[in-house]
């Protein structure tokens, strides 16, 4: 007979405030209030499991993965959240893919963007399909160059940056498409003042990040905005 | 389903803790002219070119002209208004307005008294109080300042900067290496013994600016944990001579990070002091009357062994002592230069050491991942090109379950905005047979 030591399952770590956390703490209006938590695995490369098998692969991840320092930029600190699904038997998860060609955005040429949440429908049950389907996604753009139409809400500003975040409703799909969203990226004229970010043809390259609200799935793509004619 | 899990009230705890740092000041930082900064705000007028002086000096951890230099502590001196060093100083009078008057042979007497009063007001709650040593009288003899026994009449004040003192000093961690004697070597008297120089006020060579090599003692706040008092200036205990703990040499105010030393105890008070100092002198002279070095206007030689018998000046005071002569005749800058520049020696040894204390308020968040939670990831490498889980080797085996590796914990507000983030030292596996608890500490 012996006692089991569960202390190894009790991990203690120090946290640092993010820029948004500091901003709300400084506001001193009660808005700094932690109510929920999430876990992330930004550094982990799960393809090691495929390459080396579960046993060796797990050991390699545990022992050979350097964990980076905590990042205080809220939008970068936890990019890939770990998710909980009530179904433990999932063998596939959806991906988010662009379903449109990305033309250069100009003053009179907004860009219509469509993304699909795809999965091999043979690998999920109807119940799993409902579980994984997105109903709302967040679209984050650089507010200096782009604004978005087709969103449900007004944009929220990210702290200490130029990011604007919009909520865009997702439509239900069929077959291998679980859901899809569409929105339009519009040119912001005042972005022309950032000449140092333009290339020789007057084009600014910026990124757009789309994140599913319930599955946490995300896709980042590059958009070009042309300022000079 | 989801990436977030809500805390319950029982998951969040607030707890205080403290952090200690060891602070170590080396001799060279105190003695070096580039690491001890002056603020020449005091100027005399009337006789000669005048004297400029600071009211205090700041010791830095490196050349203070560099942007990376940190101020470590301030150093200044003060005189108790009713001590004999003040009341028996040349020309001492009290004007009807209460202003103290002194002859021009003394320098900055009012400022030295004001310094003392400021510290007394700040630390003892009454500017007229005096600092006292002794087991029963310390730190202020219950506000009665008439008794000269154990009273600190000539004080050396050391104020540690907030950067190093933090919230308070930790008791029984302070120690200072100090040279109780000024230099006794050089000139005709280099063979003079320490006891001779201490007990007889005879003449030695110039020692105002010569680094001392005699009489080293360690002063420490021995016994502070068992004997300290709480006064206006917070917790205070006595600093004692380590070689004889029956001898008190100063007071240490832990909450403010201020030490008050009795110069009569930490130095050989009767020791002969000799050297060139700033003075109210309007003409140059030869320090040996008709020969020797030329002393420019605005300076004089204290303890000039040539004296009047050898053609020296009538005011040269050949048997000048550290107390009271040097304390009365020298400016605050000259005294602090002497103490800082010579009494801590000038090497790489530790001159002072103590531990500070930073009080920390922590919120501890207990983040629990139950067996059925957080077993899938949104990491792009979690899926292969076809959307299959890379962690499942055999899709037909129903016993093979997904797992993840945690590296990061995020704390969010009600709007799902990331407030704080913590990192694990290595990835930790989570699967459907594992109940994982992560304690996340957020310090304020």
Over residues B110-119, the mean pLDDT reads: 97
Interface test with B, best of A38, A52, A123, A176 (most B CBs within 10 A): A38
Interface test with A, best of B7, B363, B405 (most A CBs within 10 A): B405
Q: Is the minimum CB–CB distance between A10 and chain B shorter than 8 Å?
A: yes
Per-residue confidence at B405, pLDDT binned at 50, 70, 90?
very high
So what's the pLDDT on residue B189?
45
Q: CA of A159: which chain B residue's CA is closest?
A: B417
So what's the pLDDT on residue B201?
45
Give the whole-angstrom CA distance, residue B21 versus residue A229: 62
Q: Is the minimum CB–CB distance between B14 and chain A shorter than 8 Å?
A: no
| pLDDT top residue among B4 and B192 | B4
Of A17, A35, A216, the CB nearest to B3: A216
Residues B185, B187, B188: CA angle, nearest 5 degrees: 100
So what's the pLDDT on residue B200?
45
Q: Do A24 and B422 touch (CB under 8 A)?
A: no
Most confident of B139-148, B177-186, B200-209, B309-318: B139-148
What's the gap between Cα A31 and its chain centre?
24
- Whether the per-residue pLDDT at B196 is higher than 70: the answer is no
Q: Do B439 and A15 touch (CB under 8 A)?
A: no
Most confident of A154-158, B106-110, B272-276: B106-110
Q: Could you say which residues from 388 to 407 on chain B have a Cβ atom under 8 Å away from some Cβ of chain A?
A: 388-393, 395, 398, 401-407
Give the whole-angstrom CA distance, residue B400 versus residue B391: 9
| pLDDT top residue among A89 and B289 | A89
Distance from the Cα of A170 to chain B's closest Cα (Å) equals: 17
Per-residue confidence at B263, pLDDT binned at 50, 70, 90?
very high
Q: Is the minimum CB–CB distance between A218 and chain B shorter than 8 Å?
A: yes
Contact residues, chain B, for A63 at CB < 8 Å? 426
Over residues B91-101, the mean pLDDT reads: 95
So what's the pLDDT on residue A229?
58
Are B196 and B202 in contact by the 8 Å Cβ rule? The answer is yes
Q: What is the mean pLDDT of chain A?
A: 90
So what's the pLDDT on residue A9?
60
Contact residues, chain B, for A89 at CB < 8 Å? 398, 401
Contact residues, chain B, for A95 at CB < 8 Å? 383, 387
Q: Do B389 and A39 touch (CB under 8 A)?
A: no
Q: Do B422 and A71 touch (CB under 8 A)?
A: no
The tens digit of pLDDT for each residue in A1-10 reads 555 555 556 7
Of B375, B416, B440, the CB nearest to A88: B375
The tens digit of pLDDT for each residue in B351-371 reads 999 999 999 899 999 999 999
The tens digit of pLDDT for each residue in B158-192 reads 999 999 999 999 999 999 999 998 887 654 444 44
Give the whole-angstrom CA distance, residue A131 versus residue A90: 10
Q: Do A62 and B427 touch (CB under 8 A)?
A: yes
So what's the pLDDT on residue A141?
94
Over residues A99-118, the mean pLDDT reads: 91
The residue among B138, B130, B137 whose CA lies nearest residue B79 is B130
So what's the pLDDT on residue A5?
52
Q: In this prediction, what percent of chain B has a pLDDT beyond 90?
A: 73
Over residues A188-217, the mean pLDDT reads: 91
Q: How many CB pairs below 8 A link A and B?
A: 277
Distance from the Cα of A152 to chain B's closest Cα (Å) equals: 16
The tens digit of pLDDT for each residue in B287-346 reads 777 777 788 888 888 887 666 655 556 667 778 889 999 999 999 999 999 999 999 999
Give the whole-angstrom CA distance, residue B246 versus residue A189: 80
Q: In this prediction, what percent of chain A has a pLDDT beyond 70?
A: 94
Over residues B210-226, the mean pLDDT reads: 93
So what's the pLDDT on residue B339?
97
Q: CA of A88: which chain B residue's CA is closest?
A: B401
Over residues A55-70, the mean pLDDT reads: 94
Give the whole-angstrom CA distance, residue A200 versus residue B407: 41
């Amino acid at each position: 007979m012996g006692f089991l030591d569960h202390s190894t399952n009790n991990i203690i770590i120090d946290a640092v405030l993010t820029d948004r956390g500091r901003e709300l703490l400084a506001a001193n209006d009660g808005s700094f209030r932690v109510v929920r938590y999430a876990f992330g695995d930004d550094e982990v490369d799960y393809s090691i499991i495929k390459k080396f098998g579960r046993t060796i692969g797990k050991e390699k991840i545990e022992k050979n993965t350097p964990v980076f320092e905590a990042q205080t930029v809220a939008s970068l600190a936890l990019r890939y959240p770990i998710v909980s699904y009530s179904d433990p038997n999932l063998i596939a998860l959806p991906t988010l893919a662009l379903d449109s060609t990305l033309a250069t955005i100009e003053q009179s040429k907004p860009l219509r963007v469509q993304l699909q949440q795809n999965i091999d429908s043979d690998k999920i049950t109807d119940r799993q399909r409902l579980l994984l389907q997105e109903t709302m996604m967040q679209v984050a753009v650089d507010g200096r160059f782009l604004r978005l139409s087709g969103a449900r809400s007004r944009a929220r500003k990210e702290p200490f940056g130029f990011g604007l975040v919009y909520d865009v409703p997702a439509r239900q799909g069929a077959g291998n498409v679980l859901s899809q969203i569409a929105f339009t990226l519009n040119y912001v004229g005042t972005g022309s003042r950032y000449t140092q970010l333009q290339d020789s043809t007057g084009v600014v390259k910026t990124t757009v990040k789309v994140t599913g609200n319930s599955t946490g799935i995300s896709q980042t793509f590059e958009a070009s905005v042309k300022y000079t004619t | 389903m989801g990436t977030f899990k809500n805390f319950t009230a029982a998951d969040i705890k607030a707890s205080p803790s403290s952090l200690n740092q060891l602070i170590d000041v080396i001799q060279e930082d105190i003695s070096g002219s580039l690491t001890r900064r002056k603020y020449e705000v005091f100027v005399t007028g009337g006789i000669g070119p005048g004297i400029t002086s600071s009211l205090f000096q700041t010791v830095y951890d490196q050349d203070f002209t560099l942007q990376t230099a940190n101020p470590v502590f301030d150093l200044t001196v003060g005189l108790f208004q009713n001590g004999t060093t003040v009341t028996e100083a040349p020309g001492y009078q009290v004007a009807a307005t209460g202003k103290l008057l002194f002859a021009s042979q003394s320098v900055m007497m009012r400022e030295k008294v004001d310094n003392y009063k400021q510290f007394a007001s700040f630390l003892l709650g009454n500017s007229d109080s005096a600092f006292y040593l002794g087991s029963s009288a310390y730190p202020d003899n219950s506000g009665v300042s008439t008794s000269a026994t154990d009273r600190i009449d000539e004080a050396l004040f050391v104020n540690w900067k907030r950067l190093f003192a933090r919230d308070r000093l930790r008791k029984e961690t302070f120690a200072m290496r100090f040279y109780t004697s000024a230099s006794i070597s050089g000139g005709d008297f280099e063979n003079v013994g320490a006891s001779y120089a201490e007990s007889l006020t005879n003449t030695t060579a110039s020692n105002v600016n010569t680094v001392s090599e005699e009489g080293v003692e360690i002063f420490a706040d021995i016994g502070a944990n068992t004997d300290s008092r709480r006064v206006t200036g917070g917790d205070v205990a006595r600093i004692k001579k380590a070689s004889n703990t029956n001898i008190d040499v100063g007071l240490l105010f832990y909450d403010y990070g201020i030490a008050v030393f009795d110069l009569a105890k930490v130095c050989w008070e009767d020791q002969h002091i000799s050297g060139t100092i700033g003075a109210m002198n309007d003409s140059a002279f030869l320090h040996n009357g008709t020969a020797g070095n030329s002393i420019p206007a605005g300076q004089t030689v204290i303890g000039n062994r040539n004296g009047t018998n050898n053609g020296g000046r009538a005011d040269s005071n050949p048997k000048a002592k550290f107390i009271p002569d040097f304390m009365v005749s020298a400016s605050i800058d000259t005294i602090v230069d002497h103490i800082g520049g010579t009494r801590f020696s000038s090497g790489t040894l530790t001159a002072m050491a103590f531990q500070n204390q930073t009080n920390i308020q922590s919120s501890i968040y207990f983040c629990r991942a139950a067996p059925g939670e957080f077993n899938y990831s949104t990491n792009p490498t979690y899926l292969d090109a076809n959307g299959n889980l890379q962690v499942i080797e055999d899709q037909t085996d129903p016993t093979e379950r997904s797992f993840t590796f945690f590296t990061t914990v995020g704390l969010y507000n009600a709007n799902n905005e990331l407030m704080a983030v913590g990192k694990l030292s290595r990835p930790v596996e989570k699967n459907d047979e594992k109940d994982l608890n992560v304690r996340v500490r957020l310090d304020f």
